[in-house]
Structure 1
Amino acid sequence: MIRLVTSRLFWPVAMLVVLFAINVIAFPGFFHLEIKDGHLFGSLVDILRNGAPTMIVAVGMTLVIATRGIDLSVGAVCAISGALACSIILGSPDPGSLSTVAVAVAVSLVVSVVLGLWNGTLVALLGIQPIIATLILMTAGRGVAMLITEGQILTVNSPPFKALGSGFLLGIPIAVILAAVIFAAAALLTRQTALGMLIESVGINPEASRQAGVRARGLLIGVYIFSAVCAGIAGLVLTANQTAADANNTGLFIELDAILAVVIGGTSLAGGRYSLAGTLVGALVIQTLITTVYTVGIPPIATMVFKAAVVVAVCLLQSPRTSAAIRSWRHRAVATGPQAVA
């Protein structure tokens, strides 16, 4: 039991359970799922679908933070990606064509790669602090998105594009499937190969990893590119869900939610060891908290306050002092006798 409590995943999962319990009390049908027209509906499905963009961005953010970095530009990349896609679709003679949407998505993702390469170059090759390097794109990116949309909200009428945000595949929301695929791909690449260990080594000690033969610069650039691609995909999902590109509001503050999800999941901002499973739980905690605020009837403007409260609570429970106190209690219980341990 002591080992379970000291696990970094214990408190985020416990917080998620508490939020579920509050929702069940306020709305007894919270866990109810039903199939309408072959599609799965329910509060849990809504949480997964609405939280998918944050989850996608948080996966990329986890790897960046594991290298002792940070990416503040993901919200701006979301806006640029969505603005590009909508402008291409609107400029096409056939906005509802699947090929048009495919071109728009491909161009948006290629530009996301370029933006990630820009961040990675500033951090890995020029040695600029990650928070400053990505702050540059965070600041300029919204302006770039505004230039693409010419300061307007671009509304599109394209069923294939809309399906990215609100469509279903085999009864499951496409946004959820995209998030699951990205999470699974990241987990397989980093945990079933040596890539994860190399990322952690760079985060723990970049100089030592370089001397050990790890190509830290190339690894850093790759991580920032992956983060930008995740942000680009999230931007497409957000824009498709709204069927409009809003350069000012698309992906606004999503970088903060992603960082919160990573921190709640137990990944240290100091770099090194990370947990993709923890990030998944953290993203679910954040989205469930938002849903709880609406369910209970609390004004939405108070959401940020409750997010801060949850983060503070989880971080305090995960802190080294708390873990040390639990271990100390365990040692005293062992010294007292077997019955106390049980």
Structure 2
Amino acid sequence: MTILKNRLFWPAAILVALLIVNAFTSNQFVTVRDGHLFGSLIDILRGSAPLVLVALGMTLVIATGGIDLSVGSVMAISGAVACLLISDLGNQNSVGSVLLIIVIAIAVSLLAGLWNGALVALVGIQPIIATLILMVAGRGIAQLITDGQIINVQSGPYATIATGFFLALPVAFLIAVAAVVLITLLTRRTALGLLLESVGGSPTASRLAGIRSRRITTMVYVVSGGFAGLAGLIYSANIKSADSISAGNLIELDAILAVVIGGTALIGGRFSIAGTVLGAVLIQALGVTVVAVGVPPEATLLFKAVVVVALCLSQSAAFREKVFGRFTSTRTEAIA
């Protein structure tokens, strides 16, 4: 069947299976309380928002043939800047002041992305090395900002971006949806998507064709930094503090996994925004399901690894051909 050959079929099928398991194992899958939606499904959607944002930026970077290992550190820097400035406010519930601080934190994240882009596009350093520099140094910068301490804040407006609701839905989820819509429109309704695939498919050919590949490469790293910064704000707003050590720790690996699950080629070129979102939500659903079914904490990572391996095998055309093709051939011979 054609639908079985679609790369998004198996991730979607596994996501549906995980949601069904959650529906039967959780006390409340979806419920309405005080005019807001709560439950296991809402926890998955809200919890996946930071990963969706980081994975979106990672998708654009990978589409150009690059990689961004610094997203977790940029999250830590963003949260550290925001919480430090908010803690210095006389009135932490001032909406105008908090919005200004959010803009400042995102601007710092954009500068971090610009640093990565300059190293890759202008200096010519390999993306994995260029972003590894900020991955290591970024944690140190975040700890310098917080003086090695966890900065706690008690700001209602700031907490809203992580725990607030709008139209009965989590604000964090709506922020992620807005980002997905924006990137989809830019990459599928304009020539930007084609330019990204051209640069990722063949940087030399695209440059000879008149495409400003260096500018596009720099741009995607800036966007990746901005989305990582926004994810860092949601993370720190959720725990109401800046934890420069734990914020975004290893999220770059989950982001890369989400991108790969979604069908984006790691060598650059072809990419899928819908697939990336599906992959990010699937990873979050898997984490919630592991807790719901009572898997022991020491076996959690192993359980997730087994599911991911099964998913990757199901997406492999060669594997499906060997397994199902052999099964079909054996069945045909038996009937004959």
The TM tier, using the shorter chain, reads over 0.9
Displacement of 1:324 after TM fit?
5.2
Deviations 1:44-84 (A, max 9, x none): 11100011111111111111111111111000000000000
Partner of 2:163: 166
Secondary structure of 1:251's counterpart equals coil
Amino acid at match of 2:20: A
C-alpha contact (below 8 Å) 1:23/1:30 kept by paired residues? no
Deviation of 1:288 (Å): 0.7
C-alpha distance in 2 between matches for 1:202 and 1:320: 26
> Match for 1:106: what amino acid?
V
**What is the rounded CA distance, in whole Å, between the counterparts of 2:23 and 2:154 in structure 1?**
37
SS, match of residue 40 in structure 1: strand
* 1:311 matches 2:308: yes
Structure 1 unaligned residues grouped into runs of 5+: none
CA contact (8 A) 2:22 2:40 kept: no
C-alpha distance in 2 between matches for 1:59 and 1:127: 24
In the alignment, what sits opposite 2:71? 74
Match of 1:144 in 2: 141
Question: 2:19, 2:41 within 8 Å by CA — same for their partners in 1?
Answer: no
Residue deviations 1:273-327, cap 9 Å, x none?
A: 1111111111111011101110011123433223322322222222241365599
How far apart are the structure 2 equivalents of 1:315 and 1:94? 50
Q: CA deviation at 1:261?
A: 0.8
CA separation in 2, counterparts of 1:246 and 1:309? 30
Matching residue of 1:217: 214
- Matches of 1:300 and 1:201, distance apart in 2: 44
Structure-1 residue corresponding to 2:14: 15
Aligned partner of 1:262 in structure 2 is 259
User: What is the identity, as a one-letter code, of the residue corresponding to 1:268?
Assistant: A
Aligned mate of 2:96, from 99, 115, 118:
99
Residue matched to 2:292? 295
User: Residue 141 of structure 1 aligns to a residue in which SS?
Assistant: helix
**In structure 2, what residue type is equivalent to 1:187?**
T
SS of residue matched to 1:214: coil
Instruction: Mark the CA change 1:301 to 1:193 in structure 2 (over 3 Å): closer, same or farther.
Output: farther
Q: What does residue 272 of structure 2 align with?
A: 275
Determine the structure 1 residue equivalent to 2:55.
58
Q: Which runs of 5+ in 2 are unaligned?
A: none
Range with bigger deviation, 319-328 or 15-24:
319-328
1:181 to 166, 174, 178: 178
- The residue type equivalent to 2:313 in the other structure is L
Letter in 2 for 1:23: N
After TM superposition, give the deviation of residue 12 of structure 1 in Å: 0.6
Alignment partner of 1:206 out of 191, 203, 213: 203
SS of residue paired to 2:138: helix
Report how far residue 151 of structure 1 moved.
Answer: 0.6
RMSD: 2.1
User: Does 2:223 match 1:226?
Assistant: yes
> Residue 264 and residue 147 in structure 1: after superposition, are their counterparts in 2 closer, same or farther (change >3 A)?
same
Q: Distance in 2 between matches of 1:23 and 1:294?
A: 10
Q: State the distance in 2 between where 1:123 and 1:311 align.
A: 31
The alpha carbon displacement at 1:39 in A equals 1.2
Cα deviation, residue 239, structure 1: 0.2
Give the Cα separation in 2 of the matches to 1:256 and 1:299. Answer: 22
**2:128 alignment counterpart:** 131
Q: Is the 8 A contact 1:34 1:40 kept in 2?
A: yes
Give, as a single letter, the amino acid of the residue that structure 1 aligns with 2:119: L
Superimposed CA distance per residue, residues 145-178 of structure 1 (whole angstroms, 9 cap, x where no aligned partner): 0000001100001100011110111211110000
Aligned counterparts of 1:135 and 1:147: Cα–Cα separation in 2: 19
Shift of 1:18: 2.1
2-structure distance, mates of 1:323, 1:211: 39
TM-score when normalising by structure 1: 0.92
The answer as to whether partners of 1:6 and 1:323 remain within 8 angstroms in 2 is: no
Q: How does 1:37-52 map to 2 (within 5 A)?
A: 37-52=34-49
Secondary structure of 2:303's aligned partner = helix
Give identity over the alignment, percent.
Answer: 54
* Among 136, 154, 167, the residue aligned to 1:157: 154
CA–CA separation in structure 1 for the residues paired with 2:145 and 2:63: 33
How far apart in 1 are the matches of 2:251 and 2:274?
Answer: 19
